[in-house]
Structure formats: structure tokens, C-alpha cells
Structure 1
């Protein structure tokens, strides 16, 4: 069990307000904050290059840290500046052309859908949506009916941005691999609140961010590329970190996942990201998942008691994302009402998950995402504030 008093002591902002937006950008704990600030100070004293060399061993150790966290090998881990950059670098490396198919789910995120559709216009491949089942998660039987040798990639969102469901990743991966398709898992909303292990989920690629449930700095991301998928990818966004200029017209690219990294990055933020991963590992991912689940279910139960409030979360297994609507009130207006009472939440709208929101007839939902540092009493306080509107 997580020591609530200790993690709240590490999170000063948790005492000042009811923070329910870890699905947006969470509150970093003190060790992360201290790591980032101390390195920035060191850069101001001796310069960025020298300061980075001082921390070379710590930076190198970060690959092992994330390998432990994500069920991978250290040479399968790369660091980027966001989940978007991780996802784009991997997607861009998948060879695609006319006659090929890319499958997406109904909860595909807009940040993924736009580059998929943009590239489809240029390369001529087909984009096909996998139906959801009656519980809202990807329909594995329907997926099986769509899979054949034309399918080169399945883009799978682990936990969508606009609701609490968790997709059945392992089942999707098995079906996709039976026809030789790659699986790119968007773990942006799951890493840090749920176990996300490449070895257990059996996906080929995982993209994720530092700023959300992992509680790292903004401007940080991670990418896992399994060895088994490495030779099937063609990385294109490369520079002098990704490869070496070996002759006047010759280059040699790295053979590990770091071929997807670029030379320039914020060393302070990367050290903070590694500190965030260590913090999560010290607490225990299973323990974190249990605490987040308990907070989310308490919140859902309280909201369901309110007249005019409808909880919109689907799925069999649910994440820490809680979404709802309040009759007669637009989602953005509810968010602002909460803010006036020191409850930090957000809203999710049609443009972020157009297929799913259109299917369910929703223009927007209020989104709350309580992490383990939120006390049960604060969860109840958030319900009370919503009740004032309802």
C-alpha cells in the first residue's frame, strides 16, 4: 500500500487544490523537480555540454531504468521530447504503400489519426477502422475478420484520452501477429498508472509520455522498439546522433532503438524523466494501479448518485480516467466551474477522438483523472462541487 501522507508531502500542489488532471499533465514529485532544477543550475555554472558529461553515467543508466519499467531490453529503449515525437518517429519508419492497410480503433487519438490520414493520401494505403464491441473496447473478433496479408500495421490506443476503458492489448497483438502485422501501442495514457510491459503485452512498438501519469517533466517521451521488429522498420528522421557520417557519401545508422533519438534534447528534463520512472518503480506499478483504480471508482460511484450527471466510461477494465456529462451544461463550462472551486479537471472534445465521440453522439465530456496522491476526501470534494451544478 502506498503511504498517502508521504506522497502528498512529495507533492506540494496536492495540498493547495483538488488535482484531477494527471491525464493532462500531472504534478511532478519533489525528486523530479529537484533533479531538473539542480541540473539547470549546473548548466548555468559550467555550460550545458560539460554539465551533460558530468551526468553521462546517470543518463546511460536511464535506459536500464525504463527497460525495467516497460519490460524491455535497454537497447530497445529510446528517449524523445514527447509521446507525439515517439509515435511519429515509429510510424514514419513503417514501410507503407499502395495495397497496404493500416487498422485503427474507434478510440484512435486525433494526434495519431491526422498523421495516418495525411500519409495515406501520399502513400496510397488504406485506413480501416476496427469496430468496438458492445462494451466499447476493440472487438477482437471483428479485428480477426479484417486481418490478412494486406495489413501492415495495427495502431492501438491502450487507454483513450476521452474515457476510462482499457483495450485488450495482448489479444489484439496475437491476432495481428498471426498475419505478420506490426502493432504500435499508444501508451500515452497508461504508462505510469497501469503496468505497460512489452514482454507481457507482446506488442512491437510502444510510445509514451513523461508528463502524464508517470509524473515526469513536460517535453519528455519514451519509445520502445522490440528487437524482433527492428529489421522491418526504416527510420527516416535521423541525424548525427542517430547515425555516423562514415565517408563523403556514406553513413551508418545505429542498430538499436536510439536510432530514433535526435542529438538535441533537454538534459535536465531527461534526468527528471528518469527520476520519475525510478519514483514509480519504488512505489510499485501494481500498487499505483490499485490506488488509481480505487480513486477512479470512488469518483464514478459518487458522480452516478448525482441527478443529471451521466458517467460516460466504457470498457470491461477501466483506467483512472473518469468522464461524464452534466445535463444542461457544456463540458467547458463545467471545467470552469470546477476551477473556481480549486478543482483542476479538463474537458475532452470531438476533435480528439472523432470516431468514438461521433458514434456515441457526444460533443464533449468532462474529464477527471485522480492519481494516487489525491486523497479520498478530495475525491468526495470534487463530487460535491459537481453536485452544485447538477
Structure 2
């Protein structure tokens, strides 16, 4: 667990906390100063000596990004592809599967819109099966096992959705997928940097993540993990001269590591920012981060629970740093702007973000407050005081 001295250091290394109370960490966290400065310094040097030239000059440093990301999730560097965001990572994996007519996907109810839209949009029109929830809001694992058939091609799970702090039982789902011999893709967009991800414990075959959220990396960064044993089974939907080599007039060879899902061009300054952010989170300790997030989230939920005009909307036994709620007589966007005027950042979600989960809960929209380890108990108290004013 972090000490008060640790929190003070994290805040001293994050200039943004002096300006705002930032509870929009599930949208984009405040980066640490070292991440900010790394990106700016790289861009300055790029503008001075040239983009390709700095890439050659700092090639080893850039290449070590793969090691840093791999270390963060207990993977190998050759299993990591650096891409521009989580959706790009997720689609790179999804589109690389050899889909056939009649193939089935099993997903969970809080699945993210971009993922579900990809199922619907795919030309092979895979059959979609949704894991039902127990009364407590968690995935019903007994019902999940019964959804498998000979045509099940993929289990696609959103680890933590965009509209609540619900944490899917990723490890138990991984055990079931392994016993069934079915590919397992985990969308860890909201959990990498918040929750201690270990791909060996989860047993996922693929994992997609972003940099800008709980990892505190620059916007425009993300990564894809693909298990080494699965890499030969996946064919990238698109290739270029980085992911493949043109060997003859009618021949080419696709590279064997996860970088076959990348393309040649990319933001190298942001890539280096991603590396620094991954190192920062690893050194802070993901177990420590997760404990701190849960302490602050519990304080915030407990405070909201006491207010008659507030209705918490999170469901599940284990909850993370995304706190979703509604306010009597006030639209979610209006709540966001009201708080923004008072120096408090948060966001809101509507039905299209997580259609299945929102409609199952009978919700049209939710307010989303998302704490991180650099936030403080005092900030939570100020937030609760502001929310209380809405009911007066």
C-alpha cells in the first residue's frame, strides 16, 4: 500500500493535479511530468535533426518499449505490437482470425460498442452469444460454459466496461476457455495500469489496451498482446513493408512476431512516452495501484450511497475505479459541465457506449467519476460536497 509520502511524490510529479481535481481517468489520465517531458523533448529533437534521423539515433530506446510493456503484463517482447489505441489493437486481433460462416462469438453483457459493432459489421456475420449475469451483476460462469458449441471460435471479454467499475472474472473465464480450446481475447482498455494484469494467470490468447487511460501514457498510444503459440494462427487483415517483406514479383513473407500487426509509420515521441509510462506504473507497483484505487473508489461510493438524490449503478462483487451513478432530475451531461465549472473533471456515458448493459439496467445515461492512485481523500471529499449541493 502506498504511504502518504508516496502519494505526495506522485502528485509532485504530476503538475496537472495543481490545476484540477481529475476524476476522468477512464477517459484520459493526467500523465506524469516525466511522460510529458519525454514526449516534448523527443519532438524538439525531431524538429531539430529530422524524424527518421532521431528514430535511428534512439532506435534502442524506442525498441525497449516492447520490453517495458511486456514486463507490465508478464509477457514476452515479441508478443507485443505497438499501435495507436485499444480499438486498433482489438481489431487487429479480431480481424486476423479465420472466420467462417456459422462461427460463434461469446461475449459479456458490458461489451464495448466498438467491439460489438465489429461483430455486427463482419462480412461472415458470426453468431453472437452473450453471457448472462448473476443477480449480483457478475458473469454467470455456469451459464457461460453451456454457451460453447463446436462452432465457438472466440470468447471476447471486456475486462472492465466504460460504464461502470464492474470487473469481469477474467482468470476464471481463461480457465474455461483453455479447457474448451477456444481463443480468448481480453479487452483490457480500462484495466491496464489500474489492475495487476498477468497474461499467464488470465490465460488469454490476445489482449488489447490503450495508453491514455489508467496507464497515464500519451493519447494516441496502445498495444496488442498475442501469445507466442497463437501468432502463427493469425493472419493480419492488412500488411505493409513493416509487417511483411516483398520477396518476389508474386511473393511476400509476413513477419512472425506480434509486430506483424503494426504498420511502418507511427508517433515515435508518443511511443517513447508509452515506454516511460509503463515503467512508471511498474515501479509504482500494480498491486499497490489497485489497492489505492479501491480505497478511493470505496470512499466515493460510500459517500454517494448516503445521498437520496444519487443512485449508484455499478454492479458486481469486485469493483474498480470507475464509479457510475445518476442524479435525480439532472441529465448526465449537465452534471459533467456543472462540475467542470467547479474545477472537477469527469465524464458521462449514454446507451450507445454499452448498449446491452445499459438497456438491461434500464438506463439512458450515467455520470462517470473515475479515481486513480494520485487522487486524494481530500479530493474525494470535495467532490462529494459538490455532488451534495445538487440535491439542495
TM-score (norm 1): 0.98
1:53 aligns with 2:56: yes
Match of residue 10 from structure 1 = 13
Q: Take 1:155 and 1:343, find their aligned partners in 2: how far apart are those partners? A: 34
Runs of 4+ in 1 over 4 A off after TM superposition: none
Say whether residues 1:175 and 2:161 are aligned partners.
no
Match of 1:33 in 2: 36
Question: How far 1:148 moved relative to its partner?
Answer: 1.9
Equivalent positions of 1:1-390 (< 5 A) are 1-2=1-2, 3-119=6-122, 122-390=123-391
**Larger displacement relative to structure 2 (175-184 or 372-381):** 175-184
| Distance in 2 between residues matched to 1:231 and 1:242, nearest whole Å | 14
Q: Note the C-alpha offset of 1:68.
A: 1.0
Single out whichever of 333-342 and 20-29 deviates more from structure 2. 333-342
Q: For 1:167 and 1:314, how far apart are their aligned partners in 2? A: 11
Shift of 1:220: 0.2
Deviation at 1:124, TM superposition (A): 3.3
Aligned-pair CA distance for 1:110 = 0.4
Deviation by residue 1:161-187 (Cα, 9 ceiling, x = unmatched): 101110001111222222221111000
Contact 1:149/1:180, CA 8 A, preserved across alignment: no
Cα RMSD of the aligned pairs, angstroms, is: 0.9
Aligned length: 388
Counterpart contact for 1:21–1:345, Cα < 8 Å: yes
- Cα distance between partner residues in 2 of 1:158 and 1:63: 22
Cα separation, 1, equivalents of 2:354 and 2:290: 24
- The more displaced of 325-334 and 270-279 is 325-334
Q: CA deviation at 1:232?
A: 2.1
Checking the alignment, whether the CA contact within 8 Å between 1:149 and 1:179 is kept in structure 2 is: no
- 1:317 shift after superposition: 1.0
Q: Is the 8 A contact 1:152 1:180 kept in 2?
A: no
The alpha-carbon deviation at position 228 of structure 1 amounts to 2.1
Task: Map Cα deviations across residues 52-74 of structure 1 (whole Å, 9 max, x no partner).
Answer: 11111111111111111011111
Provide Cα deviations, 1:201-255, integer angstroms capped at 9, x if missing partner: 1000000000000000000001100012122212122111101111111101110
TM-score (norm 2): 0.97
1-structure distance, mates of 2:238, 2:8 = 45
How far apart in 2 are the matches of 1:161 and 1:319?
A: 11
CA–CA distance in 2 between the matches of 1:45 and 1:158? 42
